[in-house]
């Protein structure tokens, strides 16, 4: 979604800002812009489309200045046009503003300002912010932004410069993340560390309803009530190399291939094979209450939600805990009763998904305790939960989530195992689980070694306009995830179904042009899945089976077989999802899609 990067320091701002914008491209956007300040001159340029478009526009222009703000916009209010791209200015072009989030009362404010004779140039809610800051400015930019914060409703991460205050950037946050970067050559602000990690890994997080003023030599932070804040600096572990392609044609493929490593990272230092009990330091602060937990609600969106759906089966298998899984975007409409000692577990790669954050806040209001499994260290969800576990999987750049899904499943297994061992799970079962987890990285490599075969399968079927994905029990969420992966990056219509539901409707769709991907490892659902596959075959539907290595029976029935190594039944999803990811990737590749930045999608969904 929208991205912010700002710099004030000793170096020229333009190249730093353009580089920062490129690092933010993965979030998804449809237009971009930059404003660079030198003394009281501010040069502002905007363009629709890729950053390369903006770069072309700036090519050959003398744009000097060591202070600047830059933005990638993902349209919410108003189409993706140059007029609607950020930065926006007030009518006198004194103030320039970039903004992530949504100003909910913008319509009312706009009408009021128009009555005062203020002329608007765009359809955006952000321009209201710029006009208000311009009107509120009486010599202190910080004060003008603070006053504006009290007039607007909704969410924002904003960065503001003013002609009269050279070499100063004011930023403010409510509901949309902003991070300050500290380096010897100046200060940065960004919505995402990847925009500045090339220059610094020293960061300070701005919290809700806080402002900061940045200059070349320092920065000061305060609350919306002007109370000064001191906060210690943190060091981020991501490196710029993590955000580079490393010879892969797309980040998505790179991230699929990183899975043996990201599973190792999820397990590193957390396994105690002898005891069959994992160690999860991150949840120890709440262990005394968590170990008595009998009711867990997992909340998440999209792919993270499907990981949560596997999580429900994992907790039910390994613990005595009742588990519900809720789409975060629907959570607030449910009338959920939380028995005493209910924990809410949020799953989120970005840690910034607005719906997941809103669900957590609602659950907190109702008295539940909050846990998180998050990849981005220091993100809003990691800060608003009482305890949790980090994925430590490095940045996920491809918009379609892959490596975080399998990492989430590994961590959910560890959490369930830890709680289960505290309850009724035997030492033997604990040790067996840990051994099976340790084997997963090499087993994923075995699945990846079939990439050429999977590519050939994709080549045969990518022209089919409708696909079905089927699974049962642990692999039902994999059918959902497989269908989501295919539709989001290839734009092929796909549906995921629990195989048992076939006869209740979807079987009417089966025909020779509609492939079915059947996730059919050798588990206690196997025979039932085989019957479902037979039903499809008798209606001449092509079947691509994801099956356990050495399964000869399935070869006689299915048109194509992709093998996964044998593991414990409840760990099958960590292996069976990998062929689904590769199938989606290769179909999208044959169709010539923009795989890392599929249309209309954003990496971090910071609006509800």
Residues taking part in catalysis: 2, 603
Measured from the CB atom, is 302 or 471 closer to ligand F6R? 302
Q: Within positions 5 to 64, which residues make up the interface with ligand F6R, using CB under 6 A?
A: none
> Minimum Å distance from CB 179 to ligand F6R?
16
For the residues of 305-322, what is the DSSP string, one character each? HHHHHHHHHHHHHH-S-E
Q: Does 304 bind ligand F6R (CB under 6 A)?
A: yes
Measured from the CB atom, is 72 or 348 closer to ligand F6R? 348
Distance of CA 38 to the CA centre of its chain: 36
Measured from the CB atom, is 354 or 440 closer to ligand F6R? 354
> Minimum Å distance from CB 208 to ligand F6R?
18
> Minimum Å distance from CB 12 to ligand F6R?
34
**Between 495 and 534, how does the x/- string for binding to ligand F6R read (CB under 6 A)?**
----------------------------------------
Tokens of 410: 């590994």
Measured from the CB atom, is 161 or 483 closer to ligand F6R? 483
Measured from the CB atom, is 137 or 585 closer to ligand F6R? 585
* CA distances, 335 to each of 97, 297, 310, 343, 347 (Å): 40, 13, 23, 16, 21
Tokens of 567: 């593991």
**Between 546 and 585, how does the x/- string for binding to ligand F6R read (CB under 6 A)?**
----------------------------------------
Q: Give the interface segment with ligand F6R, choosing from 127-135, 267-275, 298-306, 308-316 (CB under 6 A).
A: 298-306
> Minimum Å distance from CB 348 to ligand F6R?
3
Q: Does 350 bind ligand F6R (CB under 6 A)?
A: yes
> Minimum Å distance from CB 352 to ligand F6R?
7
Q: Which residues pair with 296 in a beta bridge?
A: 323, 343
Q: Does 401 bind ligand F6R (CB under 6 A)?
A: yes
Compute how many residues bind ligand F6R; rule: CB under 6 A: 15
Phi, psi (rounded to 5 degrees) for 322: -80, 130
> Minimum Å distance from CB 51 to ligand F6R?
21
Q: Does 379 bind ligand F6R (CB under 6 A)?
A: no
Q: Does 443 bind ligand F6R (CB under 6 A)?
A: no
**Between 328 and 347, how does the x/- string for binding to ligand F6R read (CB under 6 A)?**
--------------------
Q: Does 412 bind ligand F6R (CB under 6 A)?
A: no
Measured from the CB atom, is 175 or 186 closer to ligand F6R? 175
Are β-strands 3-9 and 67-73 bridged in parallel, bridged antiparallel, or unpaired? antiparallel
Measured from the CB atom, is 6 or 605 closer to ligand F6R? 605
Helix/strand/coil for 158: strand
Q: By the 8 A CB rule, do 67 and 8 touch?
A: yes
> Minimum Å distance from CB 587 to ligand F6R?
15
- Distance of alpha carbon 190 from alpha carbon 461, whole angstroms: 42
Q: Does 356 bind ligand F6R (CB under 6 A)?
A: yes
> Minimum Å distance from CB 251 to ligand F6R?
12
Q: Does 400 bind ligand F6R (CB under 6 A)?
A: yes
Q: Does 349 bind ligand F6R (CB under 6 A)?
A: yes
Q: Does 303 bind ligand F6R (CB under 6 A)?
A: yes
Helix/strand/coil for 217: coil
Q: Which residue has the tokens 């200060």?
A: 187
Q: Which residues pair with 174 in a beta bridge?
A: 156
**483 burial level (CB within 10 Å; 0-12, 13-18, 19+):** buried
Distance of CA 488 to the CA centre of its chain: 14
Number of other residues whose CB lies within 10 A of the CB of residue 435: 13
Does residue 87 have a cis peptide bond before it, meaning omega lies within 30 degrees of 0? yes
**Between 157 and 186, how does the x/- string for binding to ligand F6R read (CB under 6 A)?**
------------------------------
> 359 in the Ramachandran plot: left (φ > 0), alpha (ψ -120 to 50) or beta?
alpha
Q: Does 389 bind ligand F6R (CB under 6 A)?
A: no
- Nearest by Cα to 276 from 413, 415, 417: 417
Q: Does 406 bind ligand F6R (CB under 6 A)?
A: no
Side-chain half-sphere CA neighbours of 408 within 13 A? 33
> Minimum Å distance from CB 418 to ligand F6R?
22
Which helix (DSSP H) or strand (DSSP E) does residue 11 occupy?
A: none
> Minimum Å distance from CB 234 to ligand F6R?
20
Q: By the 8 A CB rule, do 294 and 322 touch?
A: yes
Q: Does 298 bind ligand F6R (CB under 6 A)?
A: no
Tokens of 181: 């970067």
- Distance of alpha carbon 331 from alpha carbon 355, whole angstroms: 9
Q: What is the DSSP letter of 415?
A: H
Q: Which residue has the tokens 């479902």?
A: 532
- Nearest by Cα to 194 from 359, 6, 20: 20
Measured from the CB atom, is 118 or 327 closer to ligand F6R? 327
- Distance of alpha carbon 139 from alpha carbon 280, whole angstroms: 51
- Nearest by Cα to 580 from 282, 256, 308, 359: 256
Helix/strand/coil for 326: strand
Q: Does 353 bind ligand F6R (CB under 6 A)?
A: yes
Measured from the CB atom, is 95 or 399 closer to ligand F6R? 399
Measured from the CB atom, is 216 or 601 closer to ligand F6R? 601
Helix/strand/coil for 261: helix
Measured from the CB atom, is 36 or 370 closer to ligand F6R? 370
Among 63, 172, 277, 301, binds ligand F6R (CB under 6 A): 301
> Minimum Å distance from CB 347 to ligand F6R?
7
Residue nearest to ligand F6R (CB): 302
Q: By the 8 A CB rule, do 126 and 168 touch?
A: no
- Nearest by Cα to 176 from 144, 210, 202, 150: 210
Q: Does 605 bind ligand F6R (CB under 6 A)?
A: yes
Number of other residues whose CB lies within 10 A of the CB of residue 574: 28
Footprint of ligand F6R on this chain (CB under 6 A)?
A: 301-304, 348-350, 353, 356, 400-401, 484, 488, 604-605
């Amino acid at each position: 979604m929208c991205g912010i990067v700002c710099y004030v320091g000793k170096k020229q701002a333009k190249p730093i800002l353009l580089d920062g914008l490129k690092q933010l491209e993965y979030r998804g956007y449809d237009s971009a812009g930059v404003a660079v300040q030198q003394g009281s001159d501010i040069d502002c340029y905007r363009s629709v489309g890729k950053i390369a478009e903006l770069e072309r526009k700036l090519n050959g222009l003398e744009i000097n200045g060591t202070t600047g703000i830059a933005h990638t916009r993902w349209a919410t209010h108003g189409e993706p046009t140059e007029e609607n791209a950020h930065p926006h200015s007030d009518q006198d072009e004194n103030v320039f503003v970039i903004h992530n989030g949504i100003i909910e009362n913008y319509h009312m404010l706009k009408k009021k300002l128009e009555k005062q004779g203020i002329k608007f140039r765009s359809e955006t809610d952000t321009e209201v912010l710029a006009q208000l800051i311009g009107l509120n400015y009486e010599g202190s930019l910080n004060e003008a932004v603070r006053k504006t914060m009290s007039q607007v409703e909704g969410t924002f991460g904003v960065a503001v410069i003013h002609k009269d205050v050279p070499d100063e950037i004011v930023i403010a946050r409510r509901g949309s993340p902003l991070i300050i970067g500290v380096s010897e050559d100046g200060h940065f602000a960004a919505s995402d560390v990847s925009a500045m990690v090339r220059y610094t890994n020293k960061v300070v997080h701005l919290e809700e309803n806080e402002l900061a003023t940045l200059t070349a030599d320092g920065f000061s932070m305060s609350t919306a009530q002007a109370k000064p804040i001191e906060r210690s600096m943190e060091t981020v572990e991501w490196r710029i190399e993590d955000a580079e392609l490393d010879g892969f044609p797309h980040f998505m493929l790179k991230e699929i291939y990183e899975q043996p490593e990201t599973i190792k990272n999820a397990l590193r230092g957390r396994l105690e094979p002898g005891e069959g009990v994992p160690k999860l330091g991150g949840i120890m602060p709440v262990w005394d209450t968590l170990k008595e937990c009998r009711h867990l609600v997992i909340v998440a969106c999209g792919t993270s939600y499907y990981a949560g759906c596997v999580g429900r089966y994992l907790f039910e298998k390994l613990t005595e805990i009742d588990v519900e899984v809720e789409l975060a975007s629907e959570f607030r409409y449910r009338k959920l009763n939380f028995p005493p000692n209910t924990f809410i577990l949020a799953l989120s790669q970005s840690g910034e998904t607005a719906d997941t954050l809103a669900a957590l806040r609602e659950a907190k209001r109702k008295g539940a305790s909050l846990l998180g499994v998050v990849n981005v260290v220091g993100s809003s969800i990691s800060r608003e939960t009482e305890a949790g576990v980090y994925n430590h999987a490095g940045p996920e750049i491809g918009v379609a989530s892959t490596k975080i899904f399998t990492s989430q499943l590994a961590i959910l297994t560890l959490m369930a195992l830890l709680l289960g061992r505290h309850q009724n799970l035997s030492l033997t079962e604990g040790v067996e689980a840990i051994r099976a987890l340790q084997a997963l990285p090499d087993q994923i490599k075995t699945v990846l070694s079939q990439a050429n075969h999977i590519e050939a399968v994709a080549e045969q079927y990518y022209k089919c306009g409708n696909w079905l994905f089927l699974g049962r029990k642990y692999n039902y969420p994999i059918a959902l995830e497989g269908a989501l992966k295919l539709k989001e990056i290839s734009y092929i219509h796909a549906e995921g179904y629990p195989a048992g539901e076939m006869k209740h409707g979807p079987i009417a769709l089966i025909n020779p042009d509609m492939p079915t991907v059947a996730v059919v490892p050798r588990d206690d659902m196997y025979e039932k899945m085989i019957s479902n596959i037979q039903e499809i075959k008798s209606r001449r539907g092509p079947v691509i089976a994801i099956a356990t290595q050495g399964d000869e029976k399935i070869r006689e029935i299915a048109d194509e077989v992709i093998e996964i190594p044998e593991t414990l039944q409840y760990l099958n999803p960590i292996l069976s999802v990998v062929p689904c990811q590769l199938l989606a990737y290769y179909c999208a590749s044959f169709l010539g899609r923009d795989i890392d930045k599929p249309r209309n999608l954003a990496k971090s969904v910071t609006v509800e």
